[in-house]
């Protein structure tokens, strides 16, 4: 197989995997509203749960003069997986275990998904110095992380979605478990930080929420790159289980699992604006982006050092996708007719 064909195959597979992540994090709402026979019940339940998850934050951004409207504007959303649980008391000392920035182009009905390595060495405005990007959350919560991402890419972050360990565990358990492949024998701590509480043997098997979380978190025998691949496969397994006929009766529990452990400044009305992206079907374009860089050690501490030229290319790509030159960073001043 030629290199170009292999690259196309790899890109296609990556697009599919990242699309799965988007569905899970946004957060199964479109699937529930549009495909279930008892959709009215689920719709009302989803609205109630999402209203409880709605947590706007007070922050000022120099990247937009006025708030964007997702019904008509190109917008960005920062997805943050928080390294938190009941054991850790959901404190601001928690860190982001996974970060993904998504930009949405309304006219093109296209999405660009950028994974941000958790150990990226960046400037954190709230601290006033460079550090790992996942440390930004511990010094100001999600507002500090948003500010850091805006500073890094020079674009506005319009919305955020926070989910913690419990959301992941509860979603898997609500679906009755998932089938996934364990690459090697592993022994991991559980969500309560109990050492060696989860022990798995290699092979394809049914995993409950705690076991799936252990598989998603482990990196003792490889690295963050391989861990990222495992997380993508686990999310794909979650999606496959969610759309299966036998899971229909479990959707109510899934909504509760998401709502109990999620925070977002997207209102229910604003979430509904993404239905247009869902109904685009095969016309929806989803492109994955990655930040080039290399391993680095500073004062004996490991960091992921971003490549300057690669970072600039990513900035240009995101700005073009948001069409910021035409919007002049002002957002929309037009009131949406969508309730």
Give residue 166's pLDDT band: very low, low, confident or very high (50, 70, 90).
confident
Token output for 106: 């309304």
Burial of 161 (0-12, 13-18, 19+ CB in 10 A): buried
What Å distances lie between residue 170 and 179, 251, 253, 256, CA to CA?
16, 12, 9, 9
d(CA 113, CA 103): 7
Q: Which pLDDT tens digit goes with each residue over 30-73?
A: 444 444 444 667 778 778 888 888 999 988 788 888 888 998 99
d(CA 91, CA 42): 31
Angle at 74 between CA 68 and CA 78, to 5 degrees: 80
d(CA 95, CA 98): 9
Token output for 313: 């290319």
Cβ contact 142:160 at 8 Å = yes
> What pTM was computed for the model?
0.74
Strands 95-105 and 75-83, bridge-based pairing: antiparallel
Whether the predicted pLDDT of 3 surpasses 90: no
Lowest mean pLDDT among 93-97, 298-302, 309-313: 93-97
pLDDT of residue 300: 95
What Å distances lie between residue 85 and 82, 187, 206, 220, CA to CA?
9, 19, 23, 21
Lowest mean pLDDT among 138-147, 214-223, 305-314: 214-223
Cβ contact 330:64 at 8 Å = yes
pLDDT of residue 37: 40
Cβ contact 47:54 at 8 Å = no
- pLDDT, the chain, mean: 78
Whether the predicted pLDDT of 271 surpasses 90: no
Cβ contact 246:180 at 8 Å = no
Whether the predicted pLDDT of 92 surpasses 60: no
Instruction: Give the percent of the chain with pLDDT over 90.
Output: 32
Q: Which pLDDT tens digit goes with each residue over 320-336?
A: 999 986 554 444 433 33
Instruction: For each of the domains in the chain, give its residue range(s) and CATH number, in order of start.
Output: 3-166+249-327 (3.30.420.590)
DSSP secondary structure, 218-237, as one string: --TTS-HHHHHHHHHHHHHH
Lowest mean pLDDT among 47-51, 139-143, 291-295, 304-308: 47-51
pLDDT of residue 209: 92
> Rounded mean pLDDT of 282-297?
80
Q: Which pLDDT tens digit goes with each residue over 232-266?
A: 678 768 767 776 656 667 777 877 777 777 889 98
pLDDT of residue 308: 96
pLDDT of residue 19: 44
Give residue 94's pLDDT band: very low, low, confident or very high (50, 70, 90).
low
Give residue 14's pLDDT band: very low, low, confident or very high (50, 70, 90).
very low
Which comes out higher in pLDDT, residue 97 or 70? 70
Token output for 216: 């998603």
Give residue 2's pLDDT band: very low, low, confident or very high (50, 70, 90).
low
Whether the predicted pLDDT of 204 surpasses 90: yes
Instruction: Give the percent of the chain with pLDDT over 70.
Output: 71
d(CA 306, CA 275): 35
Q: Which pLDDT tens digit goes with each residue over 134-145?
A: 999 987 899 999
Burial of 148 (0-12, 13-18, 19+ CB in 10 A): buried
Cβ contact 185:200 at 8 Å = yes
d(CA 141, CA 124): 12
Cβ contact 303:296 at 8 Å = yes
> Rounded mean pLDDT of 90-111?
77
pLDDT of residue 12: 47
Cβ contact 72:106 at 8 Å = yes
Token output for 230: 């495992």
Backbone angles phi, psi at 305, to 5 degrees: -85, 115
pLDDT of residue 280: 55
């Amino acid at each position: 197989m030629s290199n170009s064909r292999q690259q196309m195959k790899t890109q296609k597979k990556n697009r599919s995997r990242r699309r799965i992540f988007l569905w899970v994090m946004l957060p199964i709402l479109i699937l529930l509203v549009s495909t279930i026979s008892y959709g009215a019940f689920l719709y009302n339940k989803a609205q109630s749960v999402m209203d409880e998850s709605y947590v706007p934050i007070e922050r000022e951004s120099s990247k937009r003069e006025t708030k964007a409207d997702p019904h008509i504007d190109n917008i960005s959303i920062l997805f943050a997986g928080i390294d938190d649980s009941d054991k850790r008391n959901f404190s601001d000392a928690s860190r982001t275990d996974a970060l993904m920035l998504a930009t949405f182009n309304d006219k093109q009905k296209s999405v660009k998904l950028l994974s941000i390595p958790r150990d990226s060495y960046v400037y954190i405005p709230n601290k006033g110095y460079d550090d790992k990007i996942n440390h930004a959350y511990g010094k100001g919560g999600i507002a500090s992380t948003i500010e850091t991402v805006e500073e890094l890419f020079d674009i506005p972050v319009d919305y955020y979605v926070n989910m913690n360990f419990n959301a992941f565990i509860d979603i898997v358990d609500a679906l009755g478990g998932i089938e996934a492949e364990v690459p090697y024998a592993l022994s991991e701590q559980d969500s309560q930080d109990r050492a060696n509480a989860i022990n798995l043997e290699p092979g394809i098997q049914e995993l409950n929420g705690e076991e799936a979380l252990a598989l998603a978190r482990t990196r003792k025998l490889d690295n963050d790159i391989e861990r990222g691949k495992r997380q993508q496969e686990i999310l794909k397994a979650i999606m496959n289980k969610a759309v299966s006929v036998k899971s229909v009766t479990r959707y109510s529990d899934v909504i509760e699992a998401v709502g109990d452990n999620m925070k977002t400044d997207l209102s229910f009305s604003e979430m509904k604006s993404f239905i247009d992206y869902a109904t685009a079907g095969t016309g929806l374009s989803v492109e994955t982006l990655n930040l080039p860089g290399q391993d680095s050690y500073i004062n004996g501490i490991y960091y992921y050092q971003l490549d300057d030229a690669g970072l600039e290319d990513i900035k240009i790509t995101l700005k073009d996708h948001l069409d910021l030159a035409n919007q002049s960073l002002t957002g929309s001043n037009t009131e949406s007719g969508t309730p």
